[in-house]
Amino acid sequence: MERRKFIKTCCYTAIGVPLLVTTLQSCASAYFYAPVTLNKNRLVVKKADFWQVKKDKKIPRPFVLVKTPGMEFPICLYKINEETYTASLLKCTHRGCELNVGGGIYSCPCHGSEFSIKGNVLEGPAEQNLKTFEIALDNENIYILQS
């Protein structure tokens, strides 16, 4: 390998590896899994977890995901406003793929079904709405009631 080509390759590697790591880290952190506790058959999430601090700025999160070790699919806890949240199981009702969250909807990567953040079918082939959960609130916490 020529010296010039070798140096060029090393430079691209030196720049590319950190860039790839940064990109992968940002992909991995795209969904925030909120710490959750179980209390009397209720999943408890802190309202404070809907905020993140980046460079000394408080930035709101529109949603957080919740998953405990016994759950096959996460629940998306979506904040509509201070007093209104929705909780939907991210399992597509068509054939059971895990849904993606983004753009204010849930979308299925398998066959393209789409659901509103309240869990209603917007686009097939899925015909049934998502499993949703009742929510209770107090000043600090959001309670996802499991039935």
63 vs 115 by CB, closer to ligand FES: 115
Size of the site for ligand FES (CB under 6 A): 11
In the stretch 108-137, what mask flags binding to ligand FES with x, by CB under 6 A? x-xxxx-----------xx-----------
Q: Vertex 61, ends 59 and 65: CA angle to 5°?
A: 150
94 binds ligand FES, rule: CB under 6 A: yes
Residues 6+ apart with CB under 8 A from 24: none
* Omega cis (within 30) before 74: no
Segment near ligand FES (CB under 6 A); pick from 29-37, 66-74, 105-113, 134-142: 105-113
Report 53-92 residues binding ligand FES (CB under 6 A). Answer: 92
16 vs 112 by CB, closer to ligand FES: 112
- Report the alpha-carbon distance of residue 85 to residue 133 in Å, rounded: 10
First to last CA, the chain: 66
46 vs 94 by CB, closer to ligand FES: 94
Residues 6+ apart with CB under 8 A from 23: none
Kindly list the residues in this chain that would bind ligand FES in the complex (CB under 6 A).
92, 94-95, 97, 108, 110-113, 125-126
